[in-house]
Amino acid sequence: MLEIQPGRFVLKSRESLHGRELDVVVDSQTGVNYVTYLASSSAPLSPLLDKDGKPLVDKLPLEHA
């Protein structure tokens, strides 16, 4: 199992949806894209899926803009 390290997740994009901030973050160790938003006192994290139901994965190493 991978150990989560500080700075592991990189913010890819941010937008507003129904008054909430919706972020797409990328795991810098696996390249997997996740969507997250602040909901009450939690921030659920779910993988983004392609049309075939497979996780969206960026090539590693990540390029920072």
For the chain, the domains span: 9-47
Bond from prior residue into 47 cis (ω within 30 degrees of 0): no
Q: Would the pTM count as exceeding 0.95? A: no
pLDDT, residue 56, reads: 97
The model's pLDDT over 1-36, given as tens digits with 9 standing for 90+, comes to: 455 567 889 999 999 988 888 899 999 999 999 999
State how far the Cα of 58 lies from the Cα of 27, in Å rounded to an integer.
9
Going by the DSSP 8-state scheme, the letter that residue 20 receives in this structure is E
State how far the Cα of 19 lies from the Cα of 59, in Å rounded to an integer.
32
